[in-house]
Every structure is written in structure tokens, then in C-alpha cells.
């Protein structure tokens, strides 16, 4: 099987009926690019920049960040790179950033919430990204967006930093896409409104499932509620994809579910445009997608959403379709 997968390394991902789907990789540092190359990644769908902060004794400087972003963009040789702005908080801490002790860190001061409240830190990251943008195809993504105001505020800061750089004579790309993670149910529900203002969505199922099911993703006692195939989750995903397509935008997924071999047929059926996963899952997913027919998978997804009552029923249904 491994040998069969290796042959797919330099191929694009095309379904049995000829639809191209972008198969991208999640990375945490520029060093991970080797794995992306070795596994035939068509893009970087999630660069988790918080590791840059976590691996540093103090806030990484604009210059240090610029170097890391440039290295990734250049390394991908023109292929798209989705860089997610800092997602600290929740379970991720920084020794040099004192965060308040909270009863519910996953519901608290985290990611874009910190960035909007402490804009100096955020603006440094945005400037580094903008400066690096000329070295490849950059897509900037904001995490943990719950409201349109948050998105507008974050994008406003990005545009302000861009204007400042341009007035300083620094070159900035004109083709940067700006999108958001869909990982809070509130955003998934009004995806139609977000779709008018963003360039793309990427669904973060690790958090979307945790917040939808009210089940801490780190707590084993409630892990039985962590149900990617629950019809409620599938309906949210469908709502997001459909909303983006209505506005001519695209939707990707960068949570673990994107590389889950039971979920892939459903997601292909729902029309997901981009799948981002750990590099080691790319080739087997490409192999699976080559065997899937999008019309048949659309029928499967439709049945899962409308006729199945439970996650278990969905799994059974997928098995009958992919035998």
C-alpha cells in the first residue's frame, strides 16, 4: 500500500469523476516543510504560528517572525500558505505572557481575543506577515472568530499596517487572501454573513466539535461526546460550505477531521474545497479521493445529514458507501 501511495506524490488530487481538491498540510515550524514535500502536499493549509512564540524566551521580534514566514513562503515555491495568527490561550501558555487564571480557559482569553486586546503584539505579527507576503502566495487566517466585529477589527488593523508599510516604501503583495477559522458555532451559524466579507473559511473541527458538544477536547471523561460524525456537526459544516460557495468563496478544513478516512467521503460529498492535515495523512487521503465519485458522495452526505439520527448511524452509512 505504501508503495502505491508513494506513486501519488507528484500528482494532484483528482476524484474519480475529475474534480480537483486541494490537499494541504498542517505545519508548526518551517522545519516541517520537508515532510510536506515528501508527502506531496499541494499547499500549507495551516501554519500554527504560536509555536514561534512558544519556542522563544520572549516575544519573537518582527524580524524573527519575518524570517520564519519568508522561509515557509519561499519553501512552498508559489504554492499557497495559510498562516494562522497567534492562537495562545486555552491549553497553550507562554512563559513571558502572564495570562489571568481562568475557570474555563477554553472559553476565555484566547487567540484573537488576546490579539485585539493587546494590539502591539498583534500588529508586530501582521507587519512581519505583510513584509513576507511578496515571497509567495500568502493567505492570512484569524483564529477563534466569534463575531463579525472581531473580524472587521482584525482586518482593519491588517489594512492599517499595510498602509503604513506602503508609505514607508516597503513592498507588500496585493494578492493576500484574508480568511477566518470556523471553530466557534456562532460563526458557523451565520457563515452567510461572514462569507460576504472574508476571502475563505477554514473549519477547525478540533474546537468546533468541542464547542458544539460542550465537551472539553482534553477531558477523557467526556471524550465519548467528541463526535465528528454527529449530524449536528455535519449540518454546521454543510452550512459553512454552502454559504461560502454562494458568495464565490472557498472552504477548507484544518482540524483532525480533514484527514479522517471515514469523514473524507462525507466532506467530499459536502463540497469541501481544501483539506489540510498532518503531512503523513496526505498520500493515503489522495489515494482514497481518487476512488470517490463526488455525485455519489453528495448523495451519501445528504443521507447522513437528513436520515441518520446518530454518529454511529452515519459511520455505518459511510461504510456501506465505500465498501
Is residue 87 a contact residue for ligand PEP (CB under 6 A)?
Answer: yes
From the CB of 207, what's the least distance to Mg ion, in Å? 4
Contact with ligand PEP (CB under 6 A) among 161, 207, 273, 274: 207
Is residue 206 a contact residue for ligand PEP (CB under 6 A)?
Answer: yes
> Do residues 68 and 51 lie in contact, with contact meaning Cβ atoms separated by under 8 Å?
no
Provide the phi-psi class of 100: left if phi over 0, else alpha when psi is between -120 and 50, else beta.
Answer: beta
Measure the CA–CA gap between 135 and 66, rounded to whole angstroms: 11
List 142's β-bridge partners, or say none: 180
Taking contact as CB under 6 A, which single stretch among the options 1-9, 203-211, 240-248, 296-304 is the one that binds ligand PEP? 203-211
What is the helix, strand, coil percentage profile of the chain, to 5? 55, 15, 35
H or E element at residue 202: strand 200-203
Residues lying near Mg ion in the complex (CB under 5 A) are found at: 183, 204, 207
Length of the chain: 323
Instruction: Give whichever of 204 and 271 is closer to ligand PEP, judged by the CB atom.
Output: 204
Instruction: Give whichever of 42 and 50 is closer to Mg ion, judged by the CB atom.
Output: 50
Taking contact as CB under 6 A, which single stretch among the options 28-36, 145-153, 201-209, 262-270 is the one that binds ligand PEP? 201-209
Taking contact as CB under 6 A, which single stretch among the options 61-69, 120-128, 200-208, 277-285 is the one that binds ligand PEP? 200-208
Contact with ligand PEP (CB under 6 A) among 40, 41, 204, 231: 204
Judged by CB under 6 A, the chain residues 236 through 275 that form the site for ligand PEP are: 254-255
Is residue 183 a contact residue for ligand PEP (CB under 6 A)?
Answer: yes
Size of the site for ligand PEP (CB under 6 A): 10
List 141's β-bridge partners, or say none: 84, 179
User: Which of ligand PEP, Mg ion, none is residue 254 near (CB under 5 to 8 Å by kind)?
Assistant: ligand PEP
> Do residues 56 and 94 lie in contact, with contact meaning Cβ atoms separated by under 8 Å?
no
Measure the CA–CA gap between 21 and 15, rounded to whole angstroms: 8
> Do residues 265 and 284 lie in contact, with contact meaning Cβ atoms separated by under 8 Å?
no
Measure the CA–CA gap between 322 and 284, rounded to whole angstroms: 15
Question: Which residues make up the interface to ligand PEP (CB under 6 A)?
Answer: 46, 48, 87, 183, 204-207, 254-255
Amino acid at each position: 500500500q505504501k508503495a502505491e501511495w508513494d506513486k501519488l506524490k507528484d500528482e494532484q488530487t483528482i476524484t474519480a469523476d475529475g474534480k480537483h481538491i486541494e490537499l494541504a498540510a498542517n505545519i508548526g515550524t518551517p522545519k516541517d516543510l520537508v515532510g510536506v514535500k515528501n508527502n506531496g502536499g499541494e499547499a500549507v493549509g495551516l501554519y500554527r504560528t504560536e509555536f514561534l512564540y512558544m519556542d522563544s524566551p520572549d516575544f519573537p521580534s518582527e524580524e524573527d517572525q519575518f524570517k520564519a514566514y519568508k522561509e515557509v513562503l519561499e519553501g512552498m515555491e508559489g504554492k499557497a500558505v495559510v498562516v494562522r495568527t497567534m492562537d495562545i490561550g486555552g491549553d497553550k501558555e507562554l512563559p513571558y505572557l502572564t495570562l489571568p487564571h481562568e475557570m474555563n480557559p477554553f472559553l476565555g482569553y484566547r487567540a484573537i481575543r488576546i490579539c485585539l486586546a493587546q494590539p502591539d503584539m498583534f500588529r508586530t505579527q501582521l507587519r512581519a506577515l505583510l513584509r513576507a507576503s511578496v515571497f509567495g502566495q500568502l493567505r492570512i487566517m484569524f483564529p477563534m472568530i466569534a463575531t463579525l466585529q472581531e473580524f472587521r477589527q482584525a482586518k482593519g488593523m491588517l489594512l492599517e499596517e499595510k498602509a503604513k508599510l506602503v508609505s514607508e516604501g516597503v513592498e507588500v503583495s496585493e494578492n493576500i487572501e484574508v480568511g477566518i477559522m470556523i471553530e466557534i458555532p456562532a460563526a458557523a451559524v451565520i457563515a452567510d454573513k461572514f462569507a460576504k466579507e472574508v476571502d475563505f473559511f477554514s473549519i477547525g473541527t478540533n474546537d468546533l466539535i468541542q464547542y458544539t458538544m460542550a465537551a472539553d477536547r482534553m477531558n477523557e471523561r467526556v471524550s465519548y461526546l467528541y463526535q465528528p460524525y454527529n449530524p449536528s456537526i455535519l449540518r454546521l459544516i454543510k452550512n459553512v460550505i454552502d454559504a461560502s460557495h454562494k458568495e464565490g468563496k472557498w472552504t477548507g478544513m484544518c482540524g483532525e477531521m480533514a484527514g479522517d478516512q471515514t469523514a473524507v467521503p462525507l466532506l467530499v460529498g459536502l463540497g469541501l474545497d481544501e483539506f489540510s492535515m498532518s503531512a503523513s495523512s496526505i498520500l493515503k487521503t489522495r489515494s482514497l479521493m481518487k476512488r470517490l465519485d463526488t455525485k455519489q458522495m453528495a448523495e451519501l452526505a445528504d443521507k447522513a445529514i437528513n436520515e441518520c439520527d446518530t454518529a454511529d448511524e452515519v459511520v455505518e452509512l459511510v461504510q456501506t458507501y465505500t465498501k
